[in-house]
């Protein structure tokens, strides 16, 4: 009798959208990457760790990676639109500013050039994902 009650309850509940495995995997990757990025930007860098004592290259690629994961998460949930790309870029630009400013709390420097590298890297990552999605959409349409 309890099995029929559970079956009736399951039938009466509205269909929940299923989260794909790809969405879950990308979400976990994004969370781990973002946490590691936050940790890395809020700890002291050992002397001589960076070649040429410049971290601009690292800022660019770190935020490109963050943008790739963020937009990839959106892509796994459905079609990526220009609005979702702009929202992702704006989110990363705001986070980059937050990241730079909170570095002051741990005796690191906030640098506008670092933020520009963050924003530029984010734009490059978003452009890369957008281009790849567009390319595969065009291939699908041709077939």
Look at residue 48 and give its three-state secondary structure.
coil
Report which listed range, 13-17, 35-39, 137-141, is most confident. Answer: 35-39
pLDDT of 50 higher than 80: no
pLDDT in tens, 89-127: 999 999 999 999 999 999 888 899 999 999 999 999 999
Sequence ranges of the domains in the chain? 21-142
pLDDT at 80: 74
Q: What is the mean pLDDT of the chain?
A: 86
Least confident of 3-7, 22-26, 35-39: 3-7
- pLDDT band for position 14 (50/70/90)? low
Token reading at 61:
């690629």
Name the percent of the chain lying above pLDDT 70.
83
């Amino acid at each position: 009798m309890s099995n029929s009650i559970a079956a009736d309850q399951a039938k009466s509940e509205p269909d929940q959208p299923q989260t794909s495995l790809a969405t879950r995997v990308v979400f976990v990757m994004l969370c781990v990457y973002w946490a590691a990025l936050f940790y890395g930007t809020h700890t002291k860098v050992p002397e001589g760790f960076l070649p040429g004592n410049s971290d601009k290259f690292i800022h660019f690629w770190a935020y490109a990676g963050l943008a790739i994961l963020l937009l990839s998460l959106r892509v796994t949930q459905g079609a990526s639109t220009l609005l979702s790309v702009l929202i992702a870029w704006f989110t990363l630009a705001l986070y980059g500013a937050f990241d730079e400013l909170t570095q002051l709390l741990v005796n690191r420097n906030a640098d506008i050039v670092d933020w520009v590298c963050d924003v530029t890297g984010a734009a490059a990552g978003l452009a890369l994902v957008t281009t790849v999605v567009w390319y595969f959409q065009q291939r699908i349409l041709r077939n």
